[in-house]
Amino acid sequence: MTFAQSLAPRLLAATAIMALGLAACDSGNNDAAEAPATPDAAVAGATPDTPIEDATQSTETTLTIVSWGGAYTKAQIEGFHKPFSERTGITIQSEDYDGNIAPIKAQVESGNVVWDAVDVETAEAVRLCDEGLTVPVDHSSLPPAPDGTPALKDFLPGTLFECAVPISVWSNVFAFDASNYPETAPSTLDDFFDLETYPGKRGLRKIPKFNLEFALMADGVATEKVYEVLSTPQGVDRAFAKLDTIKDEVIWWEAGAQPPQLLADGEVVMTSAFNGRIFNAQIAEKQPFEIIWDRQIWDLDLWVMPKGGKNLDAAMDFVSFATSTEGLAGQASWIAYGPSRKSTLELVGTHAEYPDVDMKSHMPTTPERLANGLQNDFEFWADYNDELEQRFNAWLAQ
Delimiting residues of CATH 3.40.190.10 domain(s) in the chain: 3-170+300-374, 172-298+377-397
Q: Who has greater pLDDT, 383 or 261?
A: 261
**Average of per-residue pLDDT across 118-147:** 96
The CATH class that applies to domain 172-298+377-397 reads: alpha beta
pLDDT tens digit sequence for 361-375: 898 888 788 888 999
Assign 3-class secondary structure to the chain.
Answer: CCHHHHHHHHHHHHHHHHHHHHHHHHCCCCCCCCCCCCCCCCCCCCCCCCCHHHCCCHHHCEEEEEECCHHHHHHHHHHHHHHHHHHHCCEEEEEECCCCCHHHHHHHHHCCCCCCEEEEEHHHHHHHHHCCCECCCCHHHCCCCCCCCCHHHHECCCCCECCEEEEEEEEEEEEEEHHHCCCCCCCCHHHHCCCCCCCCCEEEECCCCCHHHHHHHHCCCCHHHHHHHHCCHHHHHHHHHHHHCCHHHEEEECCCCHHHHHHHCCCCCEEEEEHHHHHHHHHCCCCCEEEEEEEEEEEEEEEECECCCCCHHHHHHHHHHHCCHHHHHHHHCCCCCEECEHHHHHHCCECCCCCCCEHHHHCCCCHHHHCCCEECCHHHHHHHHHHHHHHHHHHHHC
pLDDT tens digit sequence for 272-316: 999 999 999 999 999 999 999 999 999 999 999 999 999 999 999
The CATH class that applies to domain 3-170+300-374 reads: alpha beta
Q: What pLDDT does 382 receive? A: 83
**Average of per-residue pLDDT across 134-147:** 97
**Average of per-residue pLDDT across 112-119:** 98
pLDDT tens digit sequence for 290-302: 999 999 999 999 9
Q: Who has greater pLDDT, 34 or 161?
A: 161
